[in-house]
Amino acid sequence: MNFSYLNRGESNKSTKDFMRKKVIYILALFLIVPTLFGLLAFTEKGKETDWSKKHIAILGDSNTWLGGDECDKPKGWNKWFKETLKPASCKSYARSGATWTNTLNTIRNISDYSERLSDNNVIYNQIERLHNAVETGTQSVPDIVIIAAGTNDAWFQAKRPQAFAETSKEVFAISETDLLQRKPSEVLSVAASVRYSCLLVKNISQSRSLSC
């Protein structure tokens, strides 16, 4: 039996495992660091934020969903984010496969649980779930809402043909009132979906800080 071959195979496996862990840690840093800087931007100059009094809600796709609804799963960046800031609460509404963009068939649906690309697995419905949780008292009113999404919109463009049909300049030329009067099925581009979603989040009572 060629033991040197086995040892070499085990060595290669160990190297691959080590490299895989390094990649995961690097990806986690890429996600956590910009988010932390974004939150620090909300801090008033000269004043230290008491994160222990802040309630944080996080929306997004699989990159955030991996951390679990309670932000306590080690595969997700939000676990380390939560442990770093130690907020009063940190709740995730993220779902694997979620997109910013809606489809012509998107409707309000806060009960369906999906972990794949679909008409209703969209940020809009995560916001609606968050809103419902606040209204029913199962979620503290968030001081900060973080939305981290977009990978699936770019990756599955064939299923989201209108994703890049509008520019941000075109979308911001639309008044807030007119945009909010649209049904989600009428908001199909990434630019429109981002602005639409952010406006909906800001309508959640007392939610003051938003990071998209």
Q: 212 lies in a domain?
A: no
Q: Are residues 89 and 14 in the same domain?
A: no
Same domain? 77 vs 15: no
In a domain, 5, yes or no: no
pLDDT band at 43 (very low <50, low <70, confident <90, very high): low
Residues 93 and 188 both lie in one domain:
yes
Q: What is the DSSP string of the chain?
A: --HHHHHHHHHHHHHHHHHHHHHHHHHHHHHHHHHHHHHHTTSPTT----GGG-EEEEEESHHHHTTTTTT--TTSHHHHHHHHH--SEEEE---TT-BS---TT----SS----S--SS-BHHHHHHHHHHHHHHTSSPPPSEEEEE--HHHHHTGGG-TTTTSS-HHHHHTS-HHHHHTS-GGG--SHHHHHHHHHHHHHTSTT--EEE-
pTM: 0.77
Q: Are residues 143 and 99 part of one domain?
A: yes
Q: What does the pLDDT look like over 94-133, one tens digit per residue?
A: 999 999 999 999 999 999 888 899 999 999 999 999 999 9
Shared domain check, 64 and 34: no
Residue 24, domain extent: 10-46
How many domains does the structure of the chain reveal?
2
Q: Are 69 and 116 within one domain? A: yes
Q: Are residue 30 and residue 93 in the same domain, yes or no? A: no
Q: Are residues 33 and 73 in the same domain?
A: no
Domain membership of residue 2 (yes or no) is no
Q: Is residue 166 domain-resident? A: yes
**Domain-located, residue 199:** yes
Higher pLDDT, 35 or 69: 69
Q: Given this model, what pLDDT does residue 127 score?
A: 96
Let me know if residue 3 belongs to a domain. no
pLDDT in tens, 135-157: 999 999 999 999 999 989 988 88
Calculate mean pLDDT across residues 41-63: 79
Is residue 1 assigned to a domain? no
